[in-house]
């Protein structure tokens, strides 16, 4: 009987110690047991999009990714451009602690933001992506016009979304320039392309 009580106390104490020491360390972004994504030489906030990618005269300076945060991500940022009284481009970058967690965020982004999304054969694909989806449809919860083209991608532990206002030829060309830039820039940063 004494052995059973001591075993239960040991189990309860182990669970308690795990909850007050190990779990909080993981939740704030540290990596016990080496289960997290590798260290990188850049953060998502180092990423910028040159103003030359955007229509002439619409963007005064390079578009930066600004810091936002979530308890379940290592790094999170958002950037974008606005002209003609509307958001024209929205870009989200998330770096998760693991590729599996990035997969969760990728699937979550697929289900929000654009209703009635349909495939568009003119949209470029992010070639470095582990998972990728794109299409055009009706935006929700953002100040854009009737249609927008969007993509969501998982690249290793990163999730990237791009939304461009409109689905006309000029909007699709802008979307494709941004996707091509991400393909090269992130590909080089991650050592996927030369």
- Indicate the domain borders of the chain: 2-34, 44-189
- Where residue 94 falls among pLDDT bands split at 50, 70, 90? very high
If you search the block for the tokens 């080089």, which residue do you land on? 188
Q: pLDDT tens for residues 153-182?
A: 999 999 999 999 888 899 999 999 999 999
- What pLDDT, in 10s, does the model give residues 40-71? 899 999 999 999 999 999 999 999 999 887 66
CATH class of 44-189: alpha beta
Q: Residue 163, SS3? A: strand
Model-wide pTM > 0.85: no
Distance from CA of residue 101 to its chain's centroid? Answer: 11
What mean pLDDT is predicted for residues 1-21? 67
E runs forming strands in the chain: 48-49, 63-64, 66-68, 75-83, 86-95, 114-118, 131-139, 148-155, 158-165
């Amino acid at each position: 009987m004494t052995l059973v009580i001591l075993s239960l106390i040991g189990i309860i104490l182990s669970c308690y110690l795990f909850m007050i020491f190990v779990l909080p360390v993981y939740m704030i972004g540290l990596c016990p047991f080496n289960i997290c994504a590798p260290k990188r030489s850049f953060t998502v906030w180092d990423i910028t999009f040159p103003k030359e990618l955007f229509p002439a005269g619409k963007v005064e300076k390079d578009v930066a990714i600004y810091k936002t945060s979530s308890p379940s991500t290592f790094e999170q940022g958002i950037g974008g451009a606005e002209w003609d009284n509307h958001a024209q481009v929205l870009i989200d970058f998330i770096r998760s602690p693991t590729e599996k967690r990035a997969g969760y965020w990728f699937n979550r982004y697929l289900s929000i933001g654009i209703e009635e999304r349909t495939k568009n054969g003119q949209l470029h694909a992010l070639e470095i992506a582990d998972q990728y989806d794109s299409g055009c449809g009706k935006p929700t919860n953002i100040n854009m016009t009737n249609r927008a083209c969007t993509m969501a991608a998982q690249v290793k532990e990163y999730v990237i979304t791009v939304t461009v206002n409109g689905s006309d030829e000029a909007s699709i060309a802008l979307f494709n320039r941004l996707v091509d830039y991400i393909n090269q820039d992130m590909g080089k940063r991650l050592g996927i392309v030369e």
